[in-house]
Structure 1
């Protein structure tokens, strides 16, 4: 992972998730981190490989194109 990318990722996770909650077990923390990455962070983060669209926006655009043809 690119160092700047990694630092940005962990900084965002720290600010949006880790600083806002406390967990009783490591399992709860792991589950919260997984959910944050899969449900919040990744679907809305823009990707240059997707034309600077988020995965959610890219899928919606792709589905509209597929149903139009």
Structure 2
């Protein structure tokens, strides 16, 4: 981005606070990002998108078996409710298995009580 005269957002305000009492979640994916059956292994992340209205955040839930985005949410903030919205969309599709694994980084949005 700097080579093109751009810079990412630098102010980190409005972030969700991590639940400091929560034990760290184990890495159940174990760097194995393949799944034999849909609805069993999901990954999630948040990215920034430049728009005419400023920087927006996009949270996605991807099914590793099909490589499809099964849940997403966009907002002008970077709080836990953004991730919750994407998870609710994924769950609302009704194709998730009871023994699924959801993998993400350990950002505050993913470690919050919400």
Q: Which gives a bigger RCO, structure 1 or 2 (Cα 8 Å, sep 6+)?
A: 2
- Asked if TM exceeds 0.5, the reply is no
| Bigger share in helix | 1
| Bigger share in strand | 2
TM-score between both structures, scaled by the size of structure 1: 0.32
